[in-house]
Amino acid sequence: MYNEINIKKELTEKVRFIIKEEVTSTNDELDLLAKNGENEVTVMLSESQTKGKGRMGRTFHSPKGSGIYMSILLRPDFLPDDCNLLTPLTAVAAAKAISEVLSVKADIKWVNDIYLEGRKAAGILTKAAFSSADKTDYVIVGIGINLTKPEGGFHKEIEDIAGALSEEVTPEDRDRLVGVFLREFLSYYKAMPEVTFSEAYKERLLYLGEEITVKEKESFYEAVVLGVDERLRLKVKTKDGMEKTLYTEEITIRKKKG
């Protein structure tokens, strides 16, 4: 199990931890607590998830003993539109923590995935509840990290794209990784709505200048990545020369022929 004392060695902010052996989904279970008035900053950690969630309704496979499955409850005082920045904020905090603790280079695939050497090692899923158009009730930020390859390998649905941070990660390094991630995350969060993590995000952005396929609703088109704007939305140029800004679309790298 996670060692709360070791995690807190990296923190200066007050954090309440809920540590579980198994949950359906840390996002779902923390969401229920949020609806019942749980305070920020509450962090739920679990050894495994039976119904872990990814973007676009996908499953995030969460076997015991090979990953970090974590959700954070926030009650931000900034505008609902600024909540969109919490996903890239989380990506930067995770990438920096991975590099600091495990000495490996972590990259970011827009908008919410962490990649190592071309393979997805972590994903982020953010859910927000709003009392009105200008009032955020709460936000749940979930992140799943593949520390090591699961026994028996990755699930067949993701075996072609999934990767892990290392062949072996000690319990001490796992605790430290959680602590360093939360330290970085809370530092950026406390500065919001100022986007103090913008340059760090840009430095780690994958596919700059490369051809990608964009899925927009039920259609697909090809484009080249130009970069991100001040709100960390992806800027692309389509094959017919039109420049577009992506908000919640999904992208994949185009496979080179030959």
d(C-alpha 87, C-alpha 109), whole Å: 12
Q: Are residues 149 and 173 in the same domain?
A: yes
d(C-alpha 128, C-alpha 60), whole Å: 19
Helix, strand, or coil (residue 168): coil
Residue 242 sits in which domain range?
A: 211-253
Tokens 């908000």 belong to 247
CATH code: domain of residue 32? 3.30.930.10
Q: Are residues 193 and 219 in the same domain?
A: no
Q: Are residues 139 and 225 in the same domain?
A: no
Residue-level pLDDT at 248 = 83
Q: Are residues 241 and 133 in the same domain?
A: no
Residue 258 lies in a domain: no
Q: What is the mean pLDDT of the chain?
A: 92
Residue-level pLDDT at 156 = 80
Cβ-count burial of 231 within 10 angstroms (0-12 exposed, 13-18 middle, 19+ buried)?
middle
Q: Are residues 220 and 181 in the same domain?
A: no
Assign 239 a pLDDT band (cuts: 50, 70, 90). very high
Residue 159 lies in a domain: yes
Q: Are residues 179 and 218 in the same domain?
A: no
Residue 37 lies in a domain: yes
Residue-level pLDDT at 139 = 97
Residue-level pLDDT at 65 = 83
Q: Are residues 226 and 115 in the same domain?
A: no
Number of domains in the chain: 2
pTM for the whole structure = 0.93
Instruction: Return the number of other C-beta atoms located less than 10 Å from residue 150's C-beta.
Output: 18
CATH code: domain of residue 215? 2.30.30
Q: Tell me the mean pLDDT in the region 136-149.
A: 95
Q: Which amino acid is at 39?
A: N
pLDDT tens-digit readout, 19-70: 999 999 999 999 999 999 999 999 999 999 997 766 656 667 777 889 999 9
Assign 258 a pLDDT band (cuts: 50, 70, 90). very low
Q: Are residues 197 and 220 in the same domain?
A: no
Residue 82 lies in a domain: yes
